[in-house]
Structure 1
Amino acid sequence: MPILRIPSIKAEMGHRSNASVYNAVRAGLLTKPIKIGQRAVGLPDYEVSAINAARIAGKSDAEIRELVHRLHAKRAELVTL
């Protein structure tokens, strides 16, 4: 599973700045980044795709927050496998 870095996330999701990505994380509208190095973070590509698909489908912010919650739970499941 590819991990997208912040510039790729901005391009995929239409964010114009790094701050807008982190604001979406704080608002619960984007999953929390994972550390992939000492000074590097990213998101699994399937999480970005799922959130984009929800936006395209016209889901509300509340529904996207629930999706983000489920995606975080899925991360926990992957660790226990």
Structure 2
Amino acid sequence: MNYQLPETGFLRLSQIIGNPKADPPIPAIIPVKKTTWWNGVKSGIYPKPVKLSPRVTAWRVEDIRKFINATNSEG
């Protein structure tokens, strides 16, 4: 992974699953499609989001890092 995660803070969905249509393109940290991501959140595979406002959903960097580390240690 070439993307450097910040120590703390929040990530929006496009920062996690990437957005090749953005200018400049956003590389995926976890390369899955949006539907796969949300299904994984509902089933407990992926971390739960935090509602920052009625229209803004984000994930804690610490939760994403923990998920990545757990996934890497399994393989």
TM-score by length of 2: 0.68
Question: Following the alignment from structure 1 to structure 2, what is the Cα–Cα distance between the partners of residues 54 and 26?
Answer: 19
Gaps of 5+ in 1: 60-81
* Matched residue count: 58
Question: Are residues 1:14 and 2:14 paired?
Answer: no
Runs of 4+ deviating beyond 4 Å: none
Gaps of 5+ in 2: 1-7, 18-27
Matches for 1:11-50 after TM superposition, within 5 Å:
11-15=28-32, 17-50=33-66
Which has a greater percent of helix? 1
Aligned-residue CA RMSD in angstroms? 1.4
TM-score by length of 1: 0.64
In the alignment, residue 3 of structure 1 is paired with which amino acid?
A: F
Q: Which moved more, 1:32-41 or 1:47-56?
A: 32-41
Q: 1:17-73 CA deviation, whole Å, 9 max, x = no partner?
A: 2211111111211122111122110100010011011111117xxxxxxxxxxxxxx
Q: Which moved more, 1:45-54 or 1:6-15?
A: 6-15
